[in-house]
Amino acid sequence: MYGFQVALSFHNIVACFVGALLGTLVGVLPGLGPVATISILLPITLSMEPVTAIIMLAGIYYGAQYGGSITSILINVPGEATTVVTCIEGHQMALQGRAGPALGISAIGSFIGGTLSLVGIMFLAAPLASFALKFGPPEFTALIFLAITLITSMAVGSPIKGLATAALGMLTGVVGMDLGSGVPRFTFGIRALYDGVGLVPVIMGLFGIGEILTNVEEKSAPDIIKTKLNHIWPTRTDWLQSRLPILRGTVVGFFLGLIPGGGALISTFASYTLEKKISRHPEKFGHGAIEGLAGPETANNTGAQASFVPMLSLGLPSNVVTAILIGALVIHGVEPGPLMISTNPDIFWGVLVSMYIGNVMLLILNLPLIALWVQILRIPYKLLLPLIMLFCLVGVYSTNLNIFDVFVMIFFGIVGYLMHKFHYEPAPFVMGLVLCPIFENAFRQSLSLSDGSFLIFFNRPISAVLMICGLCLLASYLLPWCRRKIKVLQENACD
Amino acid sequence: MTKDDRFCALILLGIAIATCLGSARHVVGTFNDPGPGFFPMVLGIVLGLLSFIILAGGIVAKRADPGQESAERCGRGRVSREALYVVASLVVFGFALVPLGYILTTLVVFAVLLRLVARLTWPMVVGGAAALALGSYLIFVTLLGVTLPQGLLGF
C-alpha cells in the first residue's frame, strides 16, 4: 500500500506517464530497441529525485518494450531479441488483417501479467529481504560470478566472447580512483578519468551511437502493412484462446525473471515453447496463432517486472536494462543492495507499483494512439538519424557539462559498432562495467577475511551453492567447445 | 569468421598484456592483502586466457577448412562511407562545440551530415540544419534549461 502512496503522488504519476509515452515513441522508431531507448533518454532523468527518475526510466523501459511489440507486429522488425517471438506470430496476424487484436492482446496480456506478478512480488519481498541480509562479501562475489556466467551464456554467439566482453567491461570499470587506497588507476594522467569512466557516455555510445553506425549501413527500408486498425479490442474467441496462455505466461515470466541472468528474454522463448508444446494445434504456430503471441508477450512483461526484484533487493542486475538502472541509482547516490528494501522502501515499492500503473497507462494510452505510432514508423531512418545523434550529443554533454564525455561516447560508439561487426554483444560489457566496483570490493574483502584463501567461497553454504552453479555453467559451455575443436583437429589429422 | 576471430583475439590479447603491465605499476599485493593493482591483474590474466581460447578456436577452424577463409573475408570487414561520415561529424562536433558555440556547430555539422548521409538537396539541407539547430536550442536551452556552450558569437 505504501508503494501506491509513492507511485500515485502527482509528480511520480507524471514521470511514469511521460516515461511510458517517450519510451513508446522512441521504441517505435525503427532500429531503436528498448536498451537504446533507455540509453538515449537516460540523461533527462538525472536531474530528478531518485524515485522519480527510476520510475520514469522504468516507464521508458516498458514503454519501449511495447513500442518494440508494435514494430514487430507491423513491420516484422524486432527491436530486440525479446520481441523475436512477437514477430513470428504477431506479424502473421497482421498479414491476415488482424494487427489490431494482435496489438490489443499484447497490451492486455502485459497488463494482466503485470498485475499478477505484483501480487507475487509482495509476498516474496519480505523473505527475500531477510535472506539478502545473510549476504556477506563472499556471497556477493559468488552471486556476481554466477550472474556474469549466466548473462554470457545467454549472449548471442559464443559465450567465451561474452565472457571476454564482460572482462573488458570490468576493466573499464577499474579506471579511476581505487576505493581502497585512493590510488588513481589507468587514468593516463587525464583528470576527467579520476572519477572513472561515466556510465552515461559509455551506454549512450555503445547503444545509441553504435546503433546509429550499424543502422546507417543497412539500407533496406521496411515495409509497413497497410491494415485497418479500427478494431483493436480482441474478439470473444481471441479471449478464450489467449486466457490460459496469458496465465501460463505470467507464471513462466515471473519465475524466470527472478533468476539473475533471466528476465524478459528467456521468459518469452520459454513461454512460446511451452505454448507450442501443449497446444492442440501446434501446426498453427508460425501462422498467426494468438496463443503464441499472448503467452510470450505476457511472459516478456512479467519477466521484465520480476527482474526488478533481484535488482532492487540485491542490487544485482539480471539484464542490461536493470544494469543501466543500477548505474542510474548509483549516480543518484542510492546504494543498491540487500538493505534497499529497508532503507529505501520508497524506491522498492514505488517502482514496482509504478510499473503496474504504467501498464494501465500503456493500455489506455496506446490503444487509441496506435494510429499515431504507425505514422511515426513511416519516418525514413536517414532523417531520424540526425535527430537521434543530436539528442545523444546534447544529452551526454549536459549530464556533466564536460566535453570529455562526448569523446568517451564517440569512442564507445565506435567500440559498439565494431563489436556488432565482429559478433560481440555489448550487453555483458555493461554488466561488467556496472558490477565492477561491487565485485572488486566484495572479492578483495573476502580474500582479506579469509587470509588469502579461496576456500572462503566454498565454506559458506550460500556462496558455495552460487559458486558451484556458476562453475558448472562455465564448464557446460567450455567443455563442449573444447571437445568440438579437438574433434575438428582429429578429423583434420586423419585427412 | 575465423579471420575475424583471430584478429579480435590478438587485440584482446594486446589489451590483456597492457592491463597486466599497467597493474604491475601499482601495488598488486598478495592474496591476503590485495592492493589496488590486484583486481586489474586478475582481470588481465582472465582476459588473456579468454583471448587465447578465441585465438586457438580461430586457428583450429582455419586448419580445418583453409578454403573457407578467402570466400568470407571480403565485405564483412569493410566500413561504409556513411559510418565514417557519422564518426567524423561527431568528432568535429566534439572539438568545435566549446569554441564555436552550440548553434553554429550544430548548423555546420548537421548541414554536412544531412547532405552526405541523408542525401538531401541543398535547399533542404540548409533549411533542415537551421531548423534542427534553432529548434533544438529552443527545446533544450529555453524549455528544458540545459546549459550549452555559448562560443565566440555569444549563442
The 10s digit of each residue's pLDDT in B39-54 is 888 888 888 888 888 8
Looking at every residue in chain B, the average pLDDT score rounds to 78
- Residue A21 has what pLDDT? 86
Q: Read off the pLDDT of residues A308-345 as tens digits, 9 standing for 90 and up.
A: 777 777 777 777 788 888 888 888 877 777 777 777 77
B2 touches chain A (CB under 8 A): no
Are B27 and B55 found together in one domain?
yes
Domain parsing of chain A, residue ranges: 2-494
Give which of B8, B33, B74 to mutate to test A binding, by max A Cβ within 10 Å: B8
Q: Which of B29, B52, B73 is the last residue of a domain?
A: B73
- Residue B101 has what pLDDT? 82
Q: Is residue B67 over pLDDT 60?
A: no
Are B136 and B103 found together in one domain?
yes
Q: Which residues of B touch A447 (CB under 8 A)?
A: 31-32, 34
Q: Which residue of B has its CA nearest to A386?
A: B110
- Residue A4 has what pLDDT? 66
Query: Based on C-alpha coordinates, what's the Rg of chain B?
Result: 24
C-alpha of A383 from chain center: 27
A382 touches chain B (CB under 8 A): yes
Q: Are strands B29-30 and A176-177 parallel, antiparallel or unpaired?
A: unpaired
* Contact at CB, B82 and A216, closer than 8 angstroms: yes
* Contact at CB, B26 and A401, closer than 8 angstroms: no
The residue segments making up the domain with residue B24 are 2-73
Give which of A211, A379, A422 to mutate to test B binding, by max B Cβ within 10 Å: A422
Q: Which residues of B touch A419 (CB under 8 A)?
A: none
Structurally, how many domains does chain B consist of?
A: 2
Are B63 and B14 found together in one domain?
yes
Q: Which residues of A touch B119 (CB under 8 A)?
A: 382
Which segments in chain A show pLDDT lower than 50?
A: none
A:B CB pairs within 8 Å: 163
Residue B59 counted as domain residue:
yes
Q: Give the sign of the dihedral formed by CA B103, CA B108, CA B110, CA B111.
A: positive
A492 touches chain B (CB under 8 A): yes
A460 touches A138 (CB < 8 A): yes
Query: In terms of Cα–Cα distance, which of A485, A458, A374 is closest to A28?
Result: A374
Are B33 and B96 found together in one domain?
no
Q: What is the distance between the alpha carbons of residues B77 and B72, in angstroms, rounded to a whole number?
A: 10
* Contact at CB, B50 and A168, closer than 8 angstroms: no
Nearest to A390 among B87, B106, B119 (CB): B106
* Contact at CB, B47 and A168, closer than 8 angstroms: yes
Are B68 and B6 found together in one domain?
yes
- Residue B74 has what pLDDT? 41
B70 touches chain A (CB under 8 A): no
Strand partners, B92: none
Cell of A417: 559498432
Shortest Cα–Cα distance, A176 to chain B (Å): 11
Q: Which residues of B touch A415 (CB under 8 A)?
A: none
Residue B151 counted as domain residue:
no
A178 touches chain B (CB under 8 A): yes
* Contact at CB, A181 and B27, closer than 8 angstroms: yes
- Residue B71 has what pLDDT? 46
Residue B52 counted as domain residue:
yes
Q: What is the distance between the alpha carbons of residues B80 and A367, in angstroms, rounded to a whole number?
A: 40
* Contact at CB, A164 and B47, closer than 8 angstroms: yes
* Contact at CB, B34 and A447, closer than 8 angstroms: yes
B141 touches chain A (CB under 8 A): no
* Contact at CB, B86 and A385, closer than 8 angstroms: yes
Shortest Cα–Cα distance, B76 to chain A (Å): 8
Per-window interface: A 428-487 vs B, CB < 8 A: 440, 443-444, 447-448, 450-454, 478, 481, 485
Are B104 and B42 found together in one domain?
no
Lookup result for grid cell 593493482:
B37
ipTM: 0.88
Q: Is residue B151 over pLDDT 70?
A: no
Nearest to A382 among B30, B93, B117 (CB): B117
Count of alpha carbons within 13 angstroms of residue B18, beta-carbon side: 11
At residue A311, φ and ψ (nearest 5 deg) are -65, -45
Q: Among A290-294, A371-375, B86-90, B101-105, which stretch is predicted with the lowest mean pLDDT? A: A371-375
Q: Which residue of A has its CA nearest to B30?
A: A452
Shortest Cα–Cα distance, B70 to chain A (Å): 17
Nearest to B47 among A167, A185, A394 (CB): A167
Cell of A73: 507486429
* Contact at CB, A390 and B136, closer than 8 angstroms: yes
- Residue A410 has what pLDDT? 92
Q: Which of B47, B73, B99 is the last residue of a domain?
A: B73
Shortest Cα–Cα distance, A77 to chain B (Å): 22
A222 touches A30 (CB < 8 A): yes
Q: Which residues of B touch A407 (CB under 8 A)?
A: 91, 94
B86 touches chain A (CB under 8 A): yes
Q: Which residue of B has its CA nearest to A404?
A: B94
Shortest Cα–Cα distance, A1 to chain B (Å): 34
Query: In terms of Cα–Cα distance, which of B42, B86, B40 is closest to A393?
Result: B86
Looking at every residue in chain A, the average pLDDT score rounds to 78
- Over range B121-150, report the average pLDDT: 80
Q: Read off the pLDDT of residues A23-77 as tens digits, 9 standing for 90 and up.
A: 888 777 766 677 778 887 888 787 778 888 888 888 888 788 788 777 777 777 6
Query: In terms of Cα–Cα distance, which of A63, A60, A83 is closest to A71?
Result: A83
Angle at A172 between CA A167 and CA A177, to 5 degrees: 125
Q: Which of B73, B91, B106 is the last residue of a domain?
A: B73
Residue B96 counted as domain residue:
yes
